[in-house]
A = this chain, B = another copy of it.
Amino acid sequence: MTLSSLKRKLIGEPFPTRADVDERLDKKRALAVFASDPISSNAYATEAIMSVLILMGSAALALTLPLGLGIAFLVLFVIFSYIQTILHYPDGGGAYTVAKDNLGTIPSLFAASALLLDYILTVSVSVSAGIRAITSAVPATFEYRLVLALLAIAILTWVNLRGVRESGTIFAVPTYAFVAGVLLVITMGLARYTGLLGAAPLTPEVHDVAAARPLTSFLTIWLILRAFAAGCTALTGIEAISNGVKAFKIPESINAAKTMVVMGVIAMSLFLGITFLSTQLNLLPTEEESILSQMTRSITGGGPVYYWVQFFTMMILILAANTGYQDFPRLSSYLARDGFMPRWMQNRGDRLVYNGGIIVLATLASLLVIAFDADEIAMLPLYALGVMLSFTISQYGMSRLMGKVGQLKPGGSAFTGVTTIHYEPGWHWKRLVNLIGSIVTGIVLIVLIVTKFVEGAWVIVIAIPLVVYLLHSIQQHYVGIRQALSTQDLTLDMLHEIADVAIVPMADIHRGTLRALRYARRISHDVRAVTIVTDDEQKERFMVRWQRFPEMTNDVNLQCIEYEYRDILTPLVDYIEKVSSQEFPDRLITVVIPEFVPESFTGHLLHNQTANILRVRLRGLKNVVVIDVPFHVPG
C-alpha cells in the first residue's frame, strides 16, 4: 500500500474514463504543447541555411532570404496537406493513418517507423541542446551534463504521466514567452529598418561578389540544395498536431485545424522575420554565438530583452522534447490498436495518458542520450530524416485520396475503409498541391540522406526498415495467437479433457501440506503425494509422519522418489512430465502445490523459493494445471 500511495503522490488521483473530455486541451494549451517543436526550430533554422551558404563565400549569403521564402512556401504546402488530413481523419493518426488508408500497410509502417524514431531523437536532441545552453552559461556543470540531461528527461516523463492537460498548463508559459520575446525583437528590428524609431536605418552591405569562390555550376546547385534542405529543419514538428487530434476539445478536428493555422502563422512569422533581419544586419554564422543571439544583441543592444530571449530559447529547446512525449505514445497506441505494437501500449493509465508509451519513450531517449553522452551535435545528422520521410509519404497519400474524391460524382460519397469521403470541388488543385509538396519533401529527404550519410544518417536508413520489420513481426505474432485462441468453428469436444488425477508435491507433513492434500482429495479420486528423499533416514522420518493421519492418507498413492542429488525439483518435474505425457496424453492433469506465504517481505527471503521455481518450470508443460494452496504464516 505504501507503493501505491507513493504513486498517488507522484502521479495524482486517478481519473475515471468519462473524465477524458475534461482532460483534453483547449486551443491555447494545445498550441503550447504541440508547437514547441516547430517554433523552437526558429532558434536554429536560419543559421542552418547560412552555415551551408557561407561555404560559397559570404556573397552567397544573399541567397538566405530567397531560400527562406522557398521554405516558407513549402511549409504552406505541408500545412495545407495536414489540415486536409486532420479534416479527413478526425480520429487522428496523421501520416500513419493516411498511408494505411491510401497506400497500404507497408508504406504506413514506414511512415510510422520514421516518426517513432524521430520522436525519440526529438527528445534526446532537444534535451541535450537545452542542457548545453545551461553548461555553456555555467561551465562548472559541464561534467554533469549527462546526469542533468537524464534528470530533464525524468522531469518531462513525470509531468507527462500526470496528464495532458496539466503538462499543457505547465508548458504554456515558456512557449508564449519565447514567441513574445522574439516577436518583440523582430518588431524593433523592422521599426529600425523602416526608420520609424529614428535610429539609423539598417542598410545591407553591398556584397563583394568577386570574392565568391569560383564553383562549378553543379557544385553550386548542390550547395544551394543542401542549404535548402538544411533550412527544412524549420518543418520539423509541423505534423505533431495531425497525430494528436484526439487530445483536442470537441469538435476535435476543427480545433486542431485552427490551431495548426495559428501555429503555422506564428512559426513562419518568426522564421521569415529572423531570416530577413539576419541578412539585413549582415550577420555571419560563427561557432561562438548563434545567429538568433547575434540578431537579438544587435537589435536590442543587450539588456533585459536579450536575456529574456536567451533564457526562453533554452527553455523552449528543452520543451520541444515534449512534442515527442505527446506523439510517440499516441502513435504507439494507434499501432498497438492495429496489432503492430504490444497491446498494452494502448492502455491508458490513471491519468488517461498512455503510460506505457511514455515510459518506453523515456527509456529509449535516455539510452540514446547515454550512448551519445548528451552530445546533440553528434545526434543531429540522424534527426529530421524520419519526419521528412513521413511528410513525403503522407502528402503522397493525400494526393491519392484527392484522386479518389475526384472520381466521385458531385454530392456522392464513399467509404475508403477508414473514413468516409465526399465529393469536393477543387480536388484537382488539392491533389496537385499535395503531389508537389510530396515531391519537394522527397527531394529534401534525398539531399539530407546523401549529405549526412557518412556522419550518421546511415543509422536511420538501416533502422527504419528494421523497425518496420519489428512492427510487422509483432503483428504476425498476434495473428498467430488470435488463430490459436479463436472460437470460430470451435465445438466443445475440441477442448482438452480434464484427467481425474492430482499430484501433490510434499516435503513434509504439516498443516500447509495437509491443507493441499485435502484440496486435492476434494477435486480428484486419483491423488498422488510425491516426496523426494535423499537418504533412508529422511524417508523413514517422512513415513512415520505420513502414517499419523490415516484418514487423510489411506486412499492417497504415495510416491517416494529416491534421488542422490540435492536438487529436488528435477525428479519432481520429471515425474509430472511422465504422468502428463505417458499416462494422460492430450488431457489436462493437475498439480496441487502447497505453498506457505510469509506475511512479511523479509519472511520471503528466509524461505526457499521452491514453490515459485516449481511453478515457473511447470508453466513450460502444456497440459498441466497448477493449483496454489496458500498457507499464511506469521513473519
A residues contacting B by CB (< 8 A) are 14-18, 342-344, 347-350, 474, 476-478, 480-481, 484-487, 490, 492, 495-496, 498, 509-512, 514-515, 518-519, 522-523, 534-535, 545, 548-549, 551-552, 564-567, 588, 596-598, 603, 605-608, 615, 619, 622, 624-635
Contacts and interface: CB of A to CB of B under 8 A. Distances in A.
A381 to B, nearest CB: 31
B622 A625 contact: no
Nearest to A348: B566
Contacts of A625: 519, 627-630
A603 B596 CA distance: 30
A566 B343 contact: no
Nearest to A595: B619
B486 A498 contact: no
Contacts of A476: 635
A487 B511 contact: yes
Contacts of A627: 625-628
B548 A519 contact: no
6 contacts: A15-B565, A18-B564, A343-B607, A492-B514, A495-B515, A626-B627
A475 to B, nearest CB: 10
B487 A603 contact: no
A615 to B, nearest CB: 8
Nearest to A482: B510
Contact of A485 (B342, B496, B565, B596): B596
Contact of A17 (B342, B480, B564, B630): B564
A487 B474 contact: no
A309 B187 CA distance: 83
Given A487-B511, A626-B627, 20 more contacts: A14-B567, A16-B565, A18-B564, A343-B608, A350-B566, A477-B603, A477-B635, A478-B606, A480-B633, A481-B598, A481-B633, A484-B511, A485-B512, A492-B518, A492-B552, A495-B518, A597-B619, A619-B628, A625-B627, A625-B629
Contact of A487 (B477, B518, B545): B545
A164 to B, nearest CB: 15
A490 B511 contact: yes
Closest 5 CB pairs of A and B: A485-B510, A16-B564, A477-B635, A342-B606, A484-B633
A227 B490 CA distance: 88
Contacts of A348: 566
Given A495-B515, A510-B485, A511-B485, A480 B597 contact: no
B608 A344 contact: yes
A523 B512 CA distance: 21
A347 to B, nearest CB: 6
Nearest to A608: B344
A596 B485 CA distance: 9
B498 A511 contact: no
Q: Which of A348, A350, A509, A564 has the most CB of B within 10 A?
A: A564
A467 to B, nearest CB: 15
A348 B564 CA distance: 12
Contact of A480 (B484, B535, B619, B634): B634
A2 to B, nearest CB: 14
Nearest to A568: B347
A308 B559 CA distance: 61
B18 A567 contact: no
A347 B487 contact: no
A510 B495 contact: no
Contacts of A349: 566
A487 to B, nearest CB: 6
A535 B348 CA distance: 14
A17, A552, A565 — most chain B CB neighbours (10 Å):
A565
Given A348-B566, A625-B628, A514 B534 contact: no
Contact of A631 (B485, B534, B597): B485
A626 B594 CA distance: 11
Contacts of A486: 510-511
A477 B350 contact: no
A361 to B, nearest CB: 16
Nearest to A19: B564
A482 to B, nearest CB: 9
B343 A606 contact: yes
Contacts of A564: 16-18
A514 B535 contact: no
A487 B544 CA distance: 13
Given A17-B535, A566-B347, A514 B498 contact: no
A608 to B, nearest CB: 5
Nearest to A597: B619
A17 B511 contact: no
A432 B163 CA distance: 78
A627 B476 CA distance: 30
B515 A496 contact: yes
A332 to B, nearest CB: 13
Contacts of A628: 615, 619, 625-628
Given A347-B566, A566-B17, A606 B548 contact: no
Contacts of A512: 485
Contact of A630 (B18, B510, B608, B619): B619
Contact of A484 (B347, B509, B565, B634): B634
Contacts of A608: 343-344, 347
Contacts of A566: 17, 347-350
Nearest to A518: B495
Contacts of A15: 565
B480 A519 contact: no
A498 B510 contact: no
A379 B157 CA distance: 42
Contacts of A552: 492
A484 to B, nearest CB: 5
Contacts of A16: 564-565
A617 to B, nearest CB: 11
